[in-house]
Copies of this chain bind each other. A is one copy, B any other.
């Protein structure tokens, strides 16, 4: 059984792949509490918080520049759709959030495109959704990029997402899913 299947029903689950980049990670270990390549299964009811505060956020960044809660993601189902989508809300009073070219101030929210680049400060997160059937659970899987995901206002193109086996240790190998080349977008 693939890890993409729901244990009880063998339904496939929607998966969110997040490729993280910050120029200071290798020096200061900003992402040290993130388990890269690990697939984590979460209930669809969860509001997933990202930020500095480990008591309120599921995923934390070791960086005093980050707000206690920087942003949240939550799952929803569009009307007349069989697949689930995600909504993002900026929870930071001091830092605006960019989703592709859309700027979110504090408490602004938007539906997340199936593939998009989230940015705040020096952080760049490439988010890609892979559709599944389950309405009970979804998965999040993180990858680390050692190269910027955005350069000169263009996205770098994307190679296929690496398998987990090539991810160990993600933080020291040049195994980013993002490589220079033609721009797909």
Contacts and interface: CB of A to CB of B under 8 A. Distances in A.
A46 B167 CA distance: 36
Interface residues of A, number: 20
B84 A107 contact: yes
Q: How many copies of this chain?
A: 2
A107 B69 contact: no
Interface string A100-140: 00000111110000000000000000000000000100000
Interface stretch (A4-12, A28-36, A71-79, A141-149): A71-79
A44 B89 CA distance: 12
A173 interface: no
Interface string A50-81: 00000000000000000001000001111100
Nearest to A136: B93
B45 A76 contact: no
A135 B76 CA distance: 24
B107 A75 contact: yes
6 contacts: A45-B69, A75-B107, A76-B89, A76-B109, A78-B108, A107-B135
Interface of A: 44-45, 47, 69, 75-79, 84, 87, 89, 91, 93, 105-109, 135
